[in-house]
Amino acid sequence: MTQPAWSSSAIGAVALTDLLGHWSAADGPLYRLLATRIARLADTGELPAGLRLPAERDLAAALSVSRNTVAAAYQVLRDEGMAESRQGAGTRIVPHRTTAAAVHRANGFFAGLLSEAVVEADLSLAAVDCAPQVAAALTDPETLLDRAEREAVIRTDGYFPHGLPELRSAIASHLAERLGLPATSAQVIVTTGAQQALDLLIRTEVLPGQPVAVEDPTFPGVLDALHRAGAAVIGMPAGQGLDPERLEHVVRTHRPAMVYLIPTHHNPTGLVMPAGSRHRVARIAAAYPDTLFIDDMTLAELPLHDGSRIPPLAALAQDHPERPNVVSVGSLSKLYWGGLRTGWISGSEGLIARLVAAKAAADLGSTAFQQATVAALLRGPHEDIVKWRGEWLRARHDALTGALRASLPGWTWPEPDGGLCLWARLPGEADSSAFAQAALRHGVAVVPGRLLSAGSHANDHVRLAFTQPPDALRAAVRQLAAIPGPSR
């Protein structure tokens, strides 16, 4: 099911850096923080017994610390019986309290989310606060749901692998009326966020070893799910937008099981794929019916500027109803609140039936009652929330870009059409992994480009989420600007 990230019983400095996450964001000397975090990873089995740790010099470079810091951390591990060093064989984790079980592949992006360390300014997670209309509905559902609507949920057995019928229907109307994607309830499954939507699609439609093509950079959550499923991930350069020629070449050459795209407000670039390219992608999908094309619309309702809506890929594919291989995925996490964990997949009835069976085995359905509340939000104050979030978004975007232009004039980024992030290129020969480590010690978390790249490229980029309040963003940029080195 999962493959160890190290095949030869050794872990590289960069892979270990990913596993370490926000290791330095705590009080105490760096060598002690580093030793504590490595010991913790050994305890959990993420660093299995016998594994060789990176050479001190390599790990020091990857972490942007002195070699003495790593040497002292390794010494602590030896003193505590967690590691041993032998001449010529390096430093290895000693068998101790690990369980004998499959290890999972390192994922440095989620390491931050899973860590309990607190950073002053987290620009690494593109998570929004809860919209006030949503908070009111959650704390007092009776304001939105009448007695009959509440009892329509409460009086059932509570198991809805397809999703609550009221929410499926509300999502289908939302897609048809607001997003330009005609859909019926039977073409919709409700998921626990877009992350589960992607995981279910991958588990159902991709076999281990099959190729899957993604934009590079892309949403790191899909990379984690693909790696766990054993897919062979193919990256297609997309830092300035995806070239459909390149896509056609990859599909023709590799015949991937799946192509995952974010055509509207791409994560992380924020760009919109132009109409011409979309039509081209729809034609490629029609020509390759054995490949499933995923249009991730999670950020579609987060435009930074007014403008006409560009139809989703699945709407263009409707000229080819006999080719149900274009699928849409979405979520309310970035518009309403991530804590809702409400996502959806829209596809052919056949695909939805297979996904529902997979969801039954995965969790028997998402939390039931809240689905009634979310359906009422979609039918009620949705447009107010879109308007409120739009203002929220533009204030934060303007604060971050203004501060960067003033304090870090060497940084460049494609001007985003929407979404929650900047995809910023550091000046000169900067190493964004090392820069991210240094930033963490200045209290600011950013995502080094490598973690959003299928091929661990993009090491001269960082992803900056502008989801913190404007003042926090300006303060974070001041901290980033104080970091010495080639990033200036």
Contact set for a copy of itself, span 428-457 (CB under 8 A): none
Nearest Cα to Cα of residue 456 among 17, 4, 3, 2: 17
Q: Closest separation between CB of residue 369 and a copy of itself, Å? A: 5
Per CB under 8 A, the segment of 217-225, 423-431, 439-447, 476-484 that binds a copy of itself is: 217-225
Q: Among residues 487, 478, 488, which one has the least CA distance to residue 433?
A: 487
Please report, as residue ranges, which positions from 16 to 35 form the binding site for a copy of itself (by CB under 8 A).
Answer: none
CA 110 vs. chain centroid, Å, equals 8
Q: How far is CA 488 from CA 87, 185, 427, 458, in A?
A: 41, 52, 7, 18
Alpha-carbon distance of 304 to 239, in angstroms, equals 19
Nearer to a copy of itself, 217 or 365 (CB): 365
- Shortest separation between residue 320's beta carbon and a copy of itself, angstroms: 12
x/- string (CB under 8 A) for a copy of itself, residues 169-188?
--------------------
Nearer to a copy of itself, 252 or 405 (CB): 252
Chosen residue from 79, 84, 159, 428 binding a copy of itself by CB under 8 A? 159
Identify residues 72-101 at the interface with a copy of itself (CB under 8 A). Answer: 97-101
User: Of 251-270, which residues contact a copy of itself (CB under 8 A)?
Assistant: 257
Q: Which of 366, 378, 334 is nearest to 219 (CA)?
A: 334
User: 120: which residues sit within 8 A by CB, 6+ positions away?
Assistant: 443, 444, 475, 476, 479
Residue 43 is a binding residue for a copy of itself (CB under 8 A): yes
Q: How far is the CB of 161 from a copy of itself (least distance, A)?
A: 6
Taking the C-alpha atoms of residue 166 and residue 56, their distance in angstroms, rounded to an integer, is 58
Residues of span 106-135 touching a copy of itself by CB under 8 A: 107, 110, 113-114, 125, 127-130, 135
Q: Tell the smallest beta-carbon distance from residue 294 to a copy of itself (Å).
A: 13
Paired with 397 in beta bridges are none
Is residue 339 at the binding interface for a copy of itself, with CB under 8 A as the rule?
yes
Min dist CB 305 to a copy of itself, Å, is 26
**What residues between 287 and 316 interact with a copy of itself by CB under 8 A?**
289-290, 292
Return the closest-CA partner of residue 17 out of 49, 65, 51, 50. Answer: 65
Least separation in angstroms between CB 196 and a copy of itself: 4
CA-CA distance, 41 to 47, in Å (whole number)? 5
Burial of 117 (0-12, 13-18, 19+ CB in 10 A): middle
DSSP state of 468: S
Q: How many residues bind a copy of itself (CB under 8 A)?
A: 93
Distance CA 457, CA 185 (A): 40
CA angle in degrees (0–180, nearest 5) for 261-262-265 = 160
For the CB of residue 208, give the shortest distance to a copy of itself in the complex, in Å: 6
SS3 385: helix
- How many C-beta atoms lie closer than 10 Å to residue 54's C-beta? 22
Nearest distance, CB of residue 179 and a copy of itself, angstroms: 22
**Which residues from 370-409 bind a copy of itself, rule CB under 8 A?**
370
- Please select the residue that binds a copy of itself; options are 50, 350, 409, 486, rule is CB under 8 A: 350
Stretch that binds a copy of itself, among 28-36, 235-243, 296-304, 337-345 (CB under 8 A): 337-345
Contact range with a copy of itself by CB under 8 A, out of 59-67, 172-180, 200-208, 419-427: 200-208
Q: Which two three-digit tokens encode residue 208?
A: 């281990």
Site stretch for a copy of itself (CB under 8 A), options 175-183, 311-319, 362-370, 400-408: 362-370
> If binding is defined by CB under 8 A, does position 64 make contact with a copy of itself?
no
